[in-house]
Structure 1
Amino acid sequence: MDIAHNFSYVFFFEKNWQEAAFWKYMVERWTDSFFYSVIYVVLIFGGQYVMRTRQKFDLRSALAMWSGTLAVFSIAGAIRTIPELVSALRNHGMQYSICVPTYFNGVTSFWAFMFTVSKVYELGDTIFIVLRKQQLIFLHWYHHITVLCYVWYSYTDHTAPGRWFMVMNYTVHSVMYTYYALRALKIHVPKRINILITTLQLMQMIMGCVINYMIYSIKNRGEFCQQTYTNLRYSSMMYFSYFVLFAHFFYNTYLSSNKRSVKKGQ
């Protein structure tokens, strides 16, 4: 199968990566994502119950290390996957980039694997919110659970639009986790960076909805596109719900008159 991008340098772990073995594992075990999700929900809400009568933990150093690790990982993932997406677009066009899953070959196959397993690791974000007694909003834990289950489920089908979803996620997380790490280190970051991150997240959700619509149109024309209608349905519901929730969060946090009036009174 054609590989969309010829990398000038390939690391040994990318070269020796056995994608077929991991795919077989995911086919057999992707439903483990539901088990992880249940454990996650029990821990975070059980943790909130335990913490309600206890003093909050500071955990700034641990949070800085956690976020910093995810920032470095996301930056590396973006650097290694963006060129393949650009090549797919330049050499083959938009329809190819969302319908032909060649990113499961070569270098990007390793980073697709890392992207998939990282969704379990990222559940740890919420532990800091619980132990530091910060507000745990529905968007946060709903997003973590649904992304984990969808990504694990989609890997078994080698869904082609995952190329876009993976690159967008790596890119946004590069900025987001760097911001979290800097804040944990008490390094001043302008508020507009926070607004930028939420804007990027909103754009990511809009792009996800657009891609899903494009795939629906392509498949309805009877043309090949590596995504089942069932997966497309789940993806569309997921991205649209994210868009609504992130738009609501953006409005309440940065635009609502109540928020502005409170700030003026402070």
Structure 2
Amino acid sequence: MSVLALQEYEFEKQFNEDEAIRWMQENWKKSFLFSAFYAAFILGGRRVMKRREKFELRKPLVLWSLTLAVFSIFGAVRTGSYMTYILMTKGLKQSVCDQSFYNGPVSKFWAYAFVLSKAPELGDTLFIVLRKQKLIFLHWYHHMTVLLYSWYSYKDMVAGGGWFMTMNYLVHAVMYSYYALRAVGFKVSRKFAMFITLTQITQMLVGCVVNYLVYSWMQQGQECPSHMQNIVWSSLMYLSYFVLFCQFFHEAYIDKTKEAAAAKTEATAAARKTQ
């Protein structure tokens, strides 16, 4: 069985990865421009919204979340099938180090679509600002740094990219589906939200492991194309995400559960006193 045995769609066959990689090599620094506009929008938008009533934007939010959910599901299925094939037929090292993810017949389109999608995904924050919801550091830091790192890494076709992108597609497939259900008005279990955060934490741990493997194989002189600068930036990024997502999980679920339990205890005690 070869990689070609995985069914290709016509748009995947026709995609020219050489032009895509060349464009990114020439234009990846524009990600800093996008990030600057993003930061300016956050600062300016929040200042403007202080003097205005919040927007509901329910229908646009449903459409936005559903679109990203469908895109992420397709991306997860296509990249996941490719990475599973490489892992099962050629082993872990090949799945991490092989650059064919960037120019393979099935995955090449989805690799480029992934890095490009990090620019429009900044639009998540638009809804938070216009709806006057709480904007946490983790949210905008994560969006900004993923954009910068994705564009920076794609141009060099660095080792580990296949796993980084596939994991992100998988997590986003679940996360945006959750957001779409919430936007429609479905009452989704709190445990599902906890599960999403746990998968994000797991993603960061796996990212650190992949970086270690790339570094280890490079030190041994084996063919695993990357460079120390990329490994350092990637490791710092994943470690910072890990810490921030753990902190978010503790504050959002553990602390609030304790607060809810304490409030319930106080309410019960107060009710008994009135009896």
TM range (shorter): over 0.9
Q: Per-residue CA shift, 1:167-215, capped at 9, x if unaligned?
A: 0000000000000001000012111110010000000000001111111
Classify the secondary structure of the residue corresponding to 2:3: coil
Which residue identity lines up with residue 18 of structure 2 in the other structure?
A
Take 2:99 and 2:47, find their aligned partners in 1: how far apart are those partners? 44
The CA distance in 1 between the partners of 2:219 and 2:173, in whole Å, is 36
Q: CA deviation at 1:226?
A: 1.4
Match of 1:129? Answer: 128
State how far apart, in whole Å, the 2-side matches of 1:7 and 1:143 are: 36
Give TM-score scaled by structure 2 length: 0.92
Matches of 2:38 and 2:29, distance apart in 1 = 15
- TM-score, normalisation: structure 1: 0.96
Matching residue's letter, 1:228: H
Aligned match for 2:42, one of 41, 44, 50: 44
Partner of 1:117: 116
* Alignment partners' CA distance in 2, 1:77 and 1:259: 35
Question: Does the alignment pair 1:60 with 2:69?
Answer: no
Identity score, percent: 47
1:72 is matched with 70
Determine whether 1:20 maps to 2:6.
Answer: no
Q: CA deviation at 1:44?
A: 1.4
**Structure 1: which 4+ aligned runs deviate by more than 6 Å?**
none
Amino acid at match of 1:212: N
Distance 1:259 1:39 in 2: 38
Residue-pair matches, total: 263
**Counterpart in the other structure of 1:92:** 90
2:31 corresponding residue in structure 1 = 33
Q: Distance in 1 between matches of 2:86 and 2:133?
A: 42
**More displaced 10-residue stretch of structure 1: 5-14 or 164-173:** 5-14
Q: Tell me the C-alpha RMSD between the 2 structures.
A: 1.4
Deviation at 1:100, TM superposition (A): 1.2
Paired amino acid for 2:28: W
Q: Distance in 1 between matches of 2:96 and 2:83?
A: 10
Structure 1 residues 37 and 4: alpha-carbon distance in aligned structure 2, compared to 1, 3 A threshold: farther
| Structure 2 unaligned blocks of 5 or more | 265-275
Bigger Cα Rg: 2
Cα gap change, 1:4 to 1:239, in 2 (>3 Å): farther
- Structure 1 position 260, deviation (Å): 2.0
Given candidates 66, 80, 83, the residue that maps to 1:82 is 80
Q: State the partner residue of 2:242.
A: 243
For structure 1, the residue ranges without an aligned partner over 5 or more in a row are none
Tell me which residue corresponds to 1:151. 150
